[in-house]
Amino acid sequence: MKKIINNPDKYLQEMLDGIYIAHNDLITYTNDDKQCLVAKFKKEGKVGIATGGGSGHLPLFLGYVGQGLLDGCSVGDVFQSPSAEQMLAVTKEIDSGAGVLYIYGNYNGDIFNFDMAAEMADFEEDIRVESVVAGEDVASAGPTKDGKNTRRGVAGIFFVFKCAGAAAEKMLSLDEVKRVAEKAANNVRTMGVALTPCIVPRVGKAGFSIGEDEMEIGMGIHGETGIRRGKLEPADKVVDEMLEKIVEDLPYVYGDEVAVLVNGLGATTLDEQYIVTRRIDENLKSRGIKVHRYYVGEYATALEMAGFSISLLKLDDELKEYIDAPACTPFFRQ
């Protein structure tokens, strides 16, 4: 394991120490627990938006706490859910009477804890909480059991944060902010490709391997199995295969307008991400799908995994307004 760390058991706390040192103008923590991160400035009467999840995905999740995006985030150990108590502490801190919306990824640990936190907020604190579970990964789409969404939540959750955050900033009600978040969640799809595994610091070695000439299409951001492993192909061919699956899934059709997120998983250069962007643009143009805005860079990583993901968000006039709204957080400014 070649990482610049000290004791793996102190990885999370030392990382959080650094985050608070570097960004003390924008964020702080509550409940005397650095894993309970909240925005420094609270807008009275605004719906609070909280997220949470495991570490190892920076800038996800905590990097999006700030003006125009999220109000709080509970942070778990690497690839582990934070506790319901930590989520509740964040909820109490960010509520200012208008209620709190939870937006988080479709993982069992997170669902269990966020549901418990929502119940505690309601019964113990009289705070109204609503939840939107983001799961937009095309590779894990199903077959669905009992009508349940089996899709993993991956980089596309950024678009859900962005739209809901802008709606809350506009002082919409909890029901309205939830409606906007659901609309964004229902209109986003993501597909990823991994070239190398990543190593959880406490484990010290990769849980799987990918051959020197191989890639795995559809791999999750914790190394979950994808849909196809094969020889690494030229960028254009990889993009075309991923887009084919993404576009067919919603589907996105001729005349649609979209926002596009090209997300580096950790070790892949920006150069490569822009080579990918070029092909996405060609491909979508040939389908008559118009791109309103591109985001390119590391938005949701998987530690030092090499690879990238593509997310499309289908826009209408309302979502376009929210996507274009300003935001100011440690990792995202627009």
Binding residues for a copy of itself, rule: CB under 8 A, are 2-7, 11, 14-19, 21-23, 55-56, 58-59, 193, 195-196, 212-213, 232, 234-236, 238, 262, 266-278, 281, 294-296, 298, 301, 303-304, 306-308, 333-334
Coil vs helix vs strand at 167: helix
- Residues classed as catalytic: 57, 222
Element (H, E) at 306: none
Closest CA to 200 of 59, 306, 303: 303
Shortest gap between Cβ of 262 and a copy of itself (angstroms)? 8
- Minimum CB distance to a copy of itself smaller for 181 or for 305: 305
Whether residue 34 contacts residue 23, with contact meaning beta carbons closer than 8 Å, is answered with no
Whether residue 240 contacts residue 278, with contact meaning beta carbons closer than 8 Å, is answered with no
Shortest gap between Cβ of 44 and a copy of itself (angstroms)? 27
Shortest gap between Cβ of 263 and a copy of itself (angstroms)? 13
Task: Quote the distance between the C-alpha of residue 100 and its chain's center.
Answer: 18
Q: At what angle do helices 235-249 and 270-286 cross, to 10 degrees?
A: 50
Whether residue 202 contacts residue 9, with contact meaning beta carbons closer than 8 Å, is answered with yes
Coil vs helix vs strand at 294: strand
Q: Name the phi and psi angles at 263, rounded to 5.
A: -115, 120
Shortest gap between Cβ of 232 and a copy of itself (angstroms)? 6
